[in-house]
Structure 1
C-alpha cells in the first residue's frame, strides 16, 4: 500500500473526474444545454456550476442534433467559441468502431479531457435492456475512459414514472448505474419552471443535491457555494526540506515542525496518510519519503532532490496563510469579520482556571503571533480553552458591540 499512483484528476472540481458518468433527465429538460455548457467551460478553463475546471480539449458527440442547431446554441451562451471544443453529429456504435474513433481523436489531441455522448441510445448496438447487456456495453466505455485517463459522460433519459430515489428513474436496468463511476440526474421541480435540482453520486465525488435555475441559456447554481480550505501540505513539506535535504525522525517530530509552517496543528497519526495522499505531487517537488520500523519505532525518512524540483528550489508557501473557520467568526465594530483565534486577545479576566474540571472536552486554538528570531518563521502558540469559555467570551464581545450601537442584550442565565 505504499506504491505511489497518479491521483485521479477532476475535470470539474468535486463533480466530474476521470471515468464514466451518466447525465440523465427527462426529454427536453435541458440536459443538452448543461452538456454543452460543461464542454465549453472545460475547453476554455472557466467555471461551470460555480466549480473550477481543468482546461483541455472537449469532444461533444451531439448525435441528435445538426451543426446548425449546435452553432445556434453555442452562440447563445458565448460570443467567443474556442478551438479546443469539437463537435461530431455522426459516429459508430459501441463495439463497432466508436472506441477506435475516440482513441484516434485522443492521439490527435493529447490534452483531451472530456467526451460527451448525447445520447447513449444512439451508440448502443443491443436492444436488450437487461442487467447483463447494460453492464457489458457500458463497461467498454468505462475501460476506454480509464485507459485514456479522460472523463466520458453519456447523456441519457429518465423514466416517466417518478421515484423518491432519483437514480432509480434512470432508464434501463441497474446495470447502467452499477457500471458507471458516477451518475447525475437533472430533475425539474415543475415541468417548464426552469428550476431544477441536479442529483449527483459517484465513487470519487460526494453525494450532492444542487439547486439550479435556467437563465440566459445556462443552468446556474442557486445555492451558496462553500469555499474549500486551500491545501498547502505539499508546499509545507517542500519548504521544510529545502534547508535540510534529508530528514529522519518520528511522525511526532515531523508533525511539530510542519505545524509551525502551516500555522495549524498537524496530528502525528495523520502524517503518513497525508504523505501518501500527496506523494505524487511531492515527487514533482523533488521530495520522496519512506516509512519503516527502527528499534521498534516507526520512522519517517524524507529526501529532497533539487534537480527534480519543479518549484526551482524556491519557497512555495504563501507569505500570509490564514486558517479561519468561516462558521465561527465575530463582527468587529468596523463591521468586518474577525477569526475565532482573535477573540481572546486582550481581556482574560473572566476565563476559568485552566486546571478546573470541565465536562466539555477542551479545544485547541492555534494563534500565530510571534516570530522565530533565528529563522524568521511564525511560531504557533497553542492556547487551551473550553467550549463554554469560547461561547461566553463570544457572547460578551457581541453584547459589547451591540451596546456601542445602543442595543442592550442582557447576559444569559446559566
Structure 2
C-alpha cells in the first residue's frame, strides 16, 4: 500500500555503508539547503557571485578549497548588463559551466522542475544560488508554517539531486545579539535549512564584516572579512581553525593488515585479534565495526573492499584488498590522511 511507512531498523542503518556528503566549499557548503542573509547593499550578491565563479573554476573562495563543477545562478533582481559589469570587475574568464537565469518559476509552481531539468542537462551541477529568496516565494505572508513548508520543498529537492541550494536573503534593520535572529521572516526559515550564513558589517559602509556560519554539517565559525575593491571579492582575514587530526589508528591497522593478508572474513572480535600483528594499540570490536561502516565508501578508493553481512552465527566482516582499484590521481596520500577522524564517537 502506498500509505505504508517505509522503515529501516537500527541494525540496518548501523550496518549500511552510505556515501559521505561532499563539501563543495571545504567546511562550509555541502549538499542541502542553505541561506546567506545580509542587510541591503552589504555586497552579499558579490559573495554569491564569487562562490559560483570559484566552484565553476575550482578556485579557492573565502580561503577554502572547492570542488569544481557546474554552478547555476538565478539572479532574479539583475539584468544581463549588470551581470556583465560584475564579471568584468571580478576579472572573470569566459567559462561554460557557470550559468545565469534572470527569471525562474516560484516554489511549488515550476521551480523544482526547472532545476531538475537543468540537472539532467548538467550532471556535474554542484550549486544553485537563488538571489533573492523572496522572488521564488509563493506565499506573500510570512509565518512559521508557510516559511517551513516552502523551504522544505527546496531542501528535499537538494537532497534528491545531491546538490547545494543557496538562498540569498535579507536581514531586518533591528539589532540583535544573535545575527541569525535578524533574518527577515519567521524562525521557520532557519529551522528548515541545513545551514545559515549571516553577513553583517561591523560598521555600515566600512567594507568590513563578519560572516557568521552555523549548520548541521559544519562547525560554528565567525569569519572576519574585508571587501577588496580591486578584486571585488570578500577576503577572509582570520585563518580557519586547524582541522582535527585525521590519523585513525584502527584504519591504519586495517590498511596495513589487509595489504598483506589480501582477504579476511570473520567477526569483529576475530579481526581485532588479527590486528594485534600490526599494532600494539588496544582496539575494541565495536570501534572496528563503526570505523569500517562509516568509512567503507572512501576505503574503496584505496583498494579496500568492505562488506558487513549477516550469517547464521551473526554478522561478519569481509575485507578484500585489490591494489588495481587504488586511486591513480598521483598523490602520495595514506588511507588515514584521507579519511575523517572518528575517534571521539562510538557506535
TM class by shorter-chain length?
0.7 to 0.9
Could you tell me which runs of 5 or more consecutive residues in structure 2 were left unpaired when the two chains were aligned.
1-13, 338-347
Kindly state the Cα deviation for residue 226 of structure 1 after the two structures are TM-superposed. 3.9
Contact 1:29 1:188 in 2 (8 A): yes
Specify the alignment match of 1:121 in structure 2.
134
Larger radius of gyration: 1
Instruction: Work out which of the residue numbers 239, 263, 278 in structure 2 matches 1:246.
Output: 263
Comparing 235-244 and 1-10, the one that deviates more: 235-244
Specify the alignment match of 2:299 in structure 1.
282
Q: Distance in 1 between matches of 2:254 and 2:90?
A: 43
Specify the alignment match of 2:235 in structure 1.
220
Cα 1:232/1:317, change in 2 over 3 Å: farther
The secondary structure found in structure 1 opposite 2:126 is: strand
Q: Distance in 1 between matches of 2:324 and 2:16?
A: 19
Kindly state the Cα deviation for residue 289 of structure 1 after the two structures are TM-superposed. 4.1
TM-score by length of 2: 0.81
Q: Which has the higher strand share?
A: 1
**Cα offsets for 1:226-268 (capped at 9, x unmatched):** 44367465676445422212234636446656658xxxx6854
The secondary structure found in structure 1 opposite 2:84 is: helix
Note the 1:196-275 alignment, pairs <5 A. Answer: 196-215=209-228, 216-228=231-243, 231=246, 237-238=254-255, 240-247=257-264, 248=266, 250=269, 252-253=272-273, 256=276, 267-268=283-284, 270-275=287-292
Cα 1:80/1:240, change in 2 over 3 Å: farther
Cα 1:30/1:317, change in 2 over 3 Å: closer
Structure 1 moving runs of 4+ over 6 Å: 291-295
Kindly state the Cα deviation for residue 57 of structure 1 after the two structures are TM-superposed. 0.2
Q: Distance in 1 between matches of 2:232 and 2:67?
A: 23
Note the 1:361-400 alignment, pairs <5 A. Answer: none
Instruction: Work out which of the residue numbers 2, 9, 12 in structure 1 matches 2:22.
Output: 9
Give me the CA root mean square deviation. 3.0
TM-score by length of 1: 0.69
| Structure of greater relative contact order (alpha carbons < 8 Å, 6+ residues apart) | 2
Could you tell me which runs of 5 or more consecutive residues in structure 1 were left unpaired when the two chains were aligned.
322-414
Q: Distance in 1 between matches of 2:50 and 2:88?
A: 11
Q: What is the aligned length? A: 314
Cα 1:315/1:36, change in 2 over 3 Å: closer
